[in-house]
A and B are shown apart, each in its own frame.
Chain A
Amino acid sequence: MADKLRTQQQLEALQNKYIGTGHADTTKHEWTSNIARDSYASFQGHPPLLHYMSIGMGQGVERTRVHCMESMVLPCGPAPATEEG
């Protein structure tokens, strides 16, 4: 039992420290949002990629960065309503 508790605690610590660690009840929405946020953060962090996208979109790099940042707020729309029960 103690082992199980410790595992549980460790998992919780992990979930706290690293966003997107996931748990047994991770929903599709959580998972996809998490992936999308990771991607948007990565686009911003790689200057060549951000530059590439900006040229494609015909706008400045800063605007593309803000766009990526803004998309991180709700990348896949709001969470679907959960059925109580």
Chain B
Amino acid sequence: MANVQQTQAFYSLTLSPSSAPTCAITCNSIPGLKNQDQQIFEARGSRIYLYYIRENGDKSEVKLETVVDQDCFGIIRGVTSFRIPGTSTDQLVISSDSGRIALVNYDQAKNAFQRVHLETFGKSGIRRTVPGQYLAADPRGRCCMLASAEKNKVVYIVNRNPQNEIVISSPHEANSWANLCFAICALDTGWEHPVFAALEVDYNESESDSSGAMFAAREKQLVYYTVDLGLNHVVKSWSDAVDYTANMLFGVPGGQDGPSGVLICCEGRIYYRHDKASSLCIPIPRRSGPTEDPNRKRIIVSGCLHLSRARHEFFFLLQTEDGDLFKLTMELGEDAQGRKTTPVRMVMKYYDTFPIAKTMLLIRKGYIYIAAENGNSKLYHVNDLAENLEFEAHNNFSSDDVSSDPAEDYTPTYFKPRGLEFTSLAFDVPGLHPLMRTKVDNLTNEDAPQIYALQGTGSSSVFKTIRHGLEIQEVVSSPLGEMPYDNVFSLKHRSSDPYHSYLLLSTQYSDRTTVLSIGDEVETMEDSPFLITRATVEARLMGADTLVQVHARGVHSILESGAVNDWPAPEHRTITAASANERQLLLGLSSSELAFFFMGDDGVLNQLEDMPEMSGKITALGVGQTPEGQQQAKFAVVGCDDDTIRVLSIELDSPLEARSVQALSAAPTSIQVISQIDPSSGTNVNYVHIGLASGLYLRAVIDEITGELGEVRTKFLGARPTRLFPVELEDQQSVLACSSRPWLGYNHPNSGLYTLTPLVTDGAPFTAATGFVTEAIRGLCAVQGDSLLIFVVPNVEGRLASQEVGLRYTPRGMSRNLWFPVWYVVQADGNTLSAGTKKRLLTAATDAAKDGEGDEGMNGQENGEESMAMEKHLGLSRGKGHWASCIQAIDPITSKSVISTIELEENEAALCCTVVNFETKNADLYLAVGTGQHMSPGAKVPGAQTPKGYVHLYHLPDDGKKMVFVHKTEFAVPIYAVHPFQGRLAVGVGRELFIYDIGLKALLRKSRGLVVPNQIVSIQSKGFRIAVADVSESVTFVVFKPSPHNRLIPFADDTISRWTTSTTLLDYETVAGGDKFGNLFVLRVPDQASKESDDTGVGGYLADERSYLGGTPYRLELRSHFFANDIPMSLQRTALVTGGQEVVFWSGLEGTLGILVPFVAREDVEFFTQLEKQIREAEPPLAGRDHLMFRGYYVPVKGVVDGDLCERYLKLGYDARVRIAQEVDREVKEVERKVLEMRTRVAF
């Protein structure tokens, strides 16, 4: 399937994987850690992650560290972990769409997940009767259950055998026909037979009864399934009807610790049920306040259990759909034997309000992890477990006097939500989901474009500016005055010192050096031993305690005793370049000669008499680092202006003997030889880093024996000559490469690969940089323009840096002002109270309070800012059938804020927008906003009005900073697509496409065409050609025949339904799009159709062409198809790096940023197709899904090579790599280079 060779093939790469968590679980899977030291095992999209919470001594800094992540190439639906009795680590279980259960372990030696068992129980794919939707594990680690949405359940019993191997049983099925499963959980039964509880509805009777009476009388059953370990089967042991609205189950501790049984979470209520105990019920408290509907019932969306086995105490933390967390405790009475096993009452206490969690985990170290449904996942530190019931006694609620009969009414309880009281935010896990729209644009004239993104829902929505880069934390930035400093060195006083003592700033321009002393403060040193009347070429601490300063006219070395040795440069010659390590010093003279020194133990530099001449002027030098425990490095690299570099031996027995030569494309400006860890072998290897005058950066390996250079990697960094500076970062040797931007080269902590990432800095490029270590700071120091910048790089794990501007509601669309860097964002939230309604309610409440009690109730608008922050924290007020919506103008560059806002009233919701430059209005810009009114998302509210639509037009004066309402035009249906078209406006109204021009009181219709079958959701155009996407019927190409015909003629459509979300025109004939099922596709108009559509006038064939099979005369050809497992929300053809090729950039709802790179050469297509095939065989995906089936989930993958799979090559074992390399007729290193270059050439 994947071998279909098309005229155009793409290489699909993920730049940033999906960040939306599917589920998470705590586990102890790293061997050797304490039980308290729990890790988090999380699934996001098709990847699994293992996180570790790293905290420093006093817990002031907490970090969630990714231990390992791995792509499973399958849709992960559930994860769990359990401890099989007698084993030392937790067993991790993955349920995915593979129809198999995967048991995995964390392998610490390889730092990877290792599969233990893979058992097939059903067909692959997500089907309603194949288990995998639900996953639950016995708390004592004896078995686990998988259930499907309908009918099937399967239990696996897991054991450890005497050889310490894990044995998994054959599947035990518990199927019941026509039975829907709403939730499952495992009961805690102590060491008795394991029991699983399920919420089930039998639809058999309601379906066959045509009167509907059986449907009305349907029941939800709580069913117990007992796993009989002796007889090896599963039986349905108990069932009872429960509240029909039940949606979630939690197992209550049993055995020694509690009464066993389950908590059943229903709409508005929580029940405790068990076959051996009486039921309890407690209402879920509702929010009180003037803007809250007192009758709205909440459901529980997530929860976790805390159980102290030692003290036999437990409690639950349950979260409602508003995000409010309640602590639920059970009071137990004693039974006949005096054991505390009879539940007497339940108590709920309002705890705190968090973002809505997909999964919430309570970690024993004292943290709550919120795997957030929308936005960043968060780690909260628990300061107090709210054990004191006296505190905030009004927030305590109990189950006393509440009937446990679901049919009976109950008195609702209310509470007032507040800010965080018992917890504090410890760590924010960066995430991009839900990513509503992205647009790549370069508004700041940087080297690389930025990604402008709309993210989030409700009040936590943001407008993000995303850059590829590492964020820096500025410590000090102080101006240096007039002097243009171009070099900076920081030195220790003695090699045994832990911190730096001197900072040398040097300037070629005025031939001077400034010496600063580093202590508690950095200040100018008046009586330094250094020579300040010359520019410093190189400064370094050599030997134990000799400070060596190289300047143009000689070498100035200062011994510990204070004695100074000067070595003058030979007559008529100056020193142009120098490099040193702990013992060796190499100088390049203006006469192209090299001078070499070796430092003896007395701290005196001994010169080698021989001064060999190089082929050209020496521009750069690099001496290898002194290896640990040795006195001298083996090699030095010399770069000359004849565009060559030479590797020389600098060992004392073969000094300055040439080893190898390498030609370059430009003169080298800077060379560093640094020993770094090679990820494939895990050993230290000497790398030479070369910066060229052309802005190029090269990195090559020096062969340890011969001194040959190999494995050259190249990257273009920017327009300025590249200068390199060795720095130490997180205990590894790294390189800071300064061109028009500073780049940091380091081994990535997760992948282990050498990564080059720019630093995100404001202002001028760096001229020079050096490490900077003091008692307080372990960071870097750089000369940036005319100031000295001291900064730290806090985190090298992520590769994207972002800035945020807060929005009000869920963003729906954005458009950029054509001339100014201003973005317009339309936002709308369904079932939410609008700002106007809220204000009215608040005023009414305040008035009522005033009438009643005089002064009180002054909490309304007075503290506006505070209430805004509170609203961000607590979320927006809900209201069935209401819409809140606004249009905002955002300036992400200078003020980095919202500059103007228009709130929409009358239940209108802004859905799409575009900036349009009407031909009749010259350069005046207008913003067209398509809206919908009285829409009912989801269930229709009874008595709601029929939906309508409008197109609003706003004039954009004052550099686009203001939006002035011009007029609005009414339509019969909501408007989902507007697009500028030939100085007019194209509007999609239902299934019709209209072209409008601006009028005085409304838009004026110019042309109309019936083009798609259902609903237009996206319009793209090039020239007179328009690509129109339908909500379910893919893309139709339409041509506009201008005046006098004024006709819109659809001429090519698609053969299969695609529920299109967004499209982009790649060229005049090709459209790329994404659909709601997570596919990416590329469609192309056939040549014949394309030609005919371009015929002038409507006299040609096209207008009279007969429709084919009820559609247009021609059909689009499918060029590429790929399943991405994320819903593409934006696509764009753009370049992402300086001088890079154009790619198709796409962003998905779950936070995925991906690209499709067009292959340039046919042989590359063949190579990567081969490689993909080999890797597929060598390393089948972890969760057991077939890779080819996964990528061809809905439509067979076509014309796309999965780059993410190809990149797995770098992680394979050595044997597998060699074997695959042989299969594709390449060297291992060459395959690695090709795989890496595919990414670095076009992206990051």
Taking Cβ atoms with an 8 Å cutoff, the residues of A that contact B are 18-19, 33, 37-38, 40-42, 44-49, 51-52, 55-64, 66-67, 69, 72-74, 77-82
Known: A38-B127, A45-B75, A55-B434. 19 other contacts (CB 8 A): A19-B129, A41-B149, A45-B77, A45-B97, A45-B127, A45-B132, A47-B22, A47-B75, A47-B77, A48-B1126, A49-B1078, A51-B434, A55-B810, A69-B149, A69-B182, A73-B215, A78-B209, A78-B210, A79-B210
Residues of A within 8 A of B133 (CB): 41, 44-45
The answer, among A45, A60, A73, A80, for a CB contact under 8 Å with B126, is A45
The answer, among A18, A52, A72, A79, for a CB contact under 8 Å with B180, is A72
Q: Are A61 and B358 in contact (CB under 8 A)?
A: yes
The answer, among B129, B247, B1149, for a CB contact under 8 Å with A48, is B1149
Q: Find the B residue at minimum CB distance from A69.
A: B182
Q: Are A49 and B206 in contact (CB under 8 A)?
A: no
Asked if B211 lies at the interface with its beta carbon under 8 angstroms from chain A, I say yes
B32-40, B825-833, B1196-1204: which lies at the A interface? B825-833
Q: Find the A residue at minimum CB distance from B1126.
A: A48
The answer, among B22, B128, B373, B1076, for a CB contact under 8 Å with A52, is B1076
Q: Report if A48-B1148 is in contact (Cβ < 8 Å); known contacts: A38-B128, A60-B356.
A: yes
Q: Are A42 and B126 in contact (CB under 8 A)?
A: yes
> What's the Cα separation between A57 and B563 when bound, in Å?
79
Q: Is the interface of B mostly helix, strand, loop or mixed?
A: loop
Q: How far is the CB of B454 from chain A (nearest CB, A)?
A: 12
Q: Are B128 and A41 in contact (CB under 8 A)?
A: yes
Q: Are B206 and A37 in contact (CB under 8 A)?
A: no
Q: How far is the CB of B938 from chain A (nearest CB, A)?
A: 4
Asked if B1120 lies at the interface with its beta carbon under 8 angstroms from chain A, I say no
Q: Which of B41-60 contact A (CB under 8 A)?
A: 45
Q: How large is the interface on B (under 10, 10 to 19, 20 to 34, 35 or more residues)?
A: 35 or more
Q: Report if A74-B215 is in contact (Cβ < 8 Å); known contacts: A46-B75, A66-B247, A67-B938.
A: yes
Q: Find the A residue at minimum CB distance from B321.
A: A60
Most buried by B among A18, A64, A73: A73
Residues of A within 8 A of B831 (CB): 57-59
> What's the Cα separation between A18 and B1149 when bound, in Å?
33
Q: How far is the CB of A49 from chain B (nearest CB, A)?
A: 6
Asked if B459 lies at the interface with its beta carbon under 8 angstroms from chain A, I say no
> What's the Cα separation between A38 and B1076 when bound, in Å?
16
Q: Are A73 and B358 in contact (CB under 8 A)?
A: no
Residues of A within 8 A of B201 (CB): 73
Q: Is the interface of A mostly helix, strand, loop or mixed?
A: helix
Asked if B1188 lies at the interface with its beta carbon under 8 angstroms from chain A, I say no
Contact with A along B200-211 (1 / 0, CB 8 A): 010100111111
Asked if B151 lies at the interface with its beta carbon under 8 angstroms from chain A, I say yes
Contact with A along B457-483 (1 / 0, CB 8 A): 100000000000000000000000000
Asked if B1077 lies at the interface with its beta carbon under 8 angstroms from chain A, I say yes
Q: Are A48 and B1127 in contact (CB under 8 A)?
A: yes
Residues of A within 8 A of B878 (CB): 58
Q: Are A41 and B207 in contact (CB under 8 A)?
A: no
> What's the Cα separation between A81 and B208 when bound, in Å?
9
Return the 7 tightest CB-CB contacts between A and B, nearest first. Answer: A41-B128, A58-B830, A45-B126, A57-B938, A62-B301, A81-B210, A58-B831
Q: Are B1076 and A47 in contact (CB under 8 A)?
A: no
Asked if B1208 lies at the interface with its beta carbon under 8 angstroms from chain A, I say no
Q: How far is the CB of A77 from chain B (nearest CB, A)?
A: 8
Contact with A along B179-211 (1 / 0, CB 8 A): 010100000000000000000010100111111
Q: How far is the CB of B436 from chain A (nearest CB, A)?
A: 8
Residues of A within 8 A of B358 (CB): 61
Q: Find the A residue at minimum CB distance from B247.
A: A66
Q: Are B434 and A63 in contact (CB under 8 A)?
A: no
> What's the Cα separation between A58 and B882 when bound, in Å?
10
Q: Are A56 and B830 in contact (CB under 8 A)?
A: yes
Please name 8 pairs of A and B residues whose Cβ atoms are closer than 8 Å in the assembled complex, sorted by A: A19-B128, A47-B20, A48-B20, A48-B1126, A60-B301, A62-B302, A78-B207, A79-B208
The answer, among B20, B75, B207, B215, for a CB contact under 8 Å with A51, is B20
The answer, among B209, B938, B1077, for a CB contact under 8 Å with A46, is B1077
Q: Are B182 and A66 in contact (CB under 8 A)?
A: yes
Q: Are B75 and A49 in contact (CB under 8 A)?
A: no
Q: Report if A63-B321 is in contact (Cβ < 8 Å); known contacts: A48-B1150, A52-B1076, A55-B434.
A: yes
Q: Find the B residue at minimum CB distance from A79.
A: B210
Residues of A within 8 A of B97 (CB): 45
Residues of A within 8 A of B1125 (CB): 48
Q: Report if A49-B207 is in contact (Cβ < 8 Å); known contacts: A72-B150, A73-B218.
A: no
Residues of A within 8 A of B248 (CB): 62
> What's the Cα separation between A57 and B321 when bound, in Å?
14
Q: Are B938 and A33 in contact (CB under 8 A)?
A: no
> What's the Cα separation between A13 and B289 when bound, in Å?
59
> What's the Cα separation between A37 and B128 when bound, in Å?
8
Q: How far is the CB of B505 from chain A (nearest CB, A)?
A: 53
Q: Are A47 and B150 in contact (CB under 8 A)?
A: no
Q: Are B1078 and A48 in contact (CB under 8 A)?
A: yes
Q: Are B1077 and A61 in contact (CB under 8 A)?
A: no
Q: Which of B220-258 contact A (CB under 8 A)?
A: 247-248
Contact with A along B106-143 (1 / 0, CB 8 A): 00000000000000000000111100110000000000
Q: Report if A41-B215 is in contact (Cβ < 8 Å); known contacts: A47-B22, A48-B1127, A66-B247.
A: no
> What's the Cα separation between A51 and B1126 when bound, in Å?
10
Q: Are B180 and A73 in contact (CB under 8 A)?
A: yes
Asked if B519 lies at the interface with its beta carbon under 8 angstroms from chain A, I say no
Residues of A within 8 A of B126 (CB): 41-42, 45-46
Q: Find the B residue at minimum CB distance from A65.
A: B247
Residues of A within 8 A of B830 (CB): 56-58
Q: Find the A residue at minimum CB distance from B356.
A: A60
Q: Are B149 and A80 in contact (CB under 8 A)?
A: no
> What's the Cα separation between A33 and B203 when bound, in Å?
12
Contact with A along B717-760 (1 / 0, CB 8 A): 00000000000000000000000000000000000000000000
Most buried by B among A48, A51, A66: A48
Q: Find the A residue at minimum CB distance from B436.
A: A55
Residues of B within 8 A of A73 (CB): 180, 201, 203, 206, 215, 218
> What's the Cα separation between A47 and B374 when bound, in Å?
13
Q: Find the A residue at minimum CB distance from B23.
A: A47
The answer, among A52, A58, A61, A74, for a CB contact under 8 Å with B1127, is A52
Q: How far is the CB of B994 from chain A (nearest CB, A)?
A: 25
Residues of A within 8 A of B148 (CB): 41
Q: Are A51 and B1150 in contact (CB under 8 A)?
A: yes
Q: Are A78 and B149 in contact (CB under 8 A)?
A: no
Q: Find the A residue at minimum CB distance from B301.
A: A62
> What's the Cα separation between A49 and B127 when bound, in Å?
15
Asked if B1213 lies at the interface with its beta carbon under 8 angstroms from chain A, I say no
Q: Are B211 and A51 in contact (CB under 8 A)?
A: no
Q: Which of B369-404 contact A (CB under 8 A)?
A: 373-374
Q: Are B1148 and A55 in contact (CB under 8 A)?
A: no
Q: How far is the CB of A56 from chain B (nearest CB, A)?
A: 6
> What's the Cα separation between A68 and B830 when bound, in Å?
19
Q: Which of B1159-1207 contact A (CB under 8 A)?
A: none
> What's the Cα separation between A41 and B152 when bound, in Å?
13
Residues of B within 8 A of A19 (CB): 128-129, 150-151
Q: How far is the CB of A83 from chain B (nearest CB, A)?
A: 11
> What's the Cα separation between A79 and B937 when bound, in Å?
27
Q: Find the B residue at minimum CB distance from A77.
A: B212
Most buried by B among A37, A46, A55, A58: A58
Q: Are B211 and A78 in contact (CB under 8 A)?
A: yes
> What's the Cα separation between A47 and B824 when bound, in Å?
30
Q: Which of B840-885 contact A (CB under 8 A)?
A: 878
Q: How far is the CB of A66 from chain B (nearest CB, A)?
A: 5
Residues of B within 8 A of A62 (CB): 247-248, 299, 301-302, 321
Q: Report if A72-B937 is in contact (Cβ < 8 Å); known contacts: A38-B128, A49-B1127.
A: no
> What's the Cα separation between A57 and B373 when bound, in Å?
15
The answer, among B77, B150, B1148, for a CB contact under 8 Å with A37, is B150
Contact with A along B879-919 (1 / 0, CB 8 A): 00000000000000000000000000000000000000000
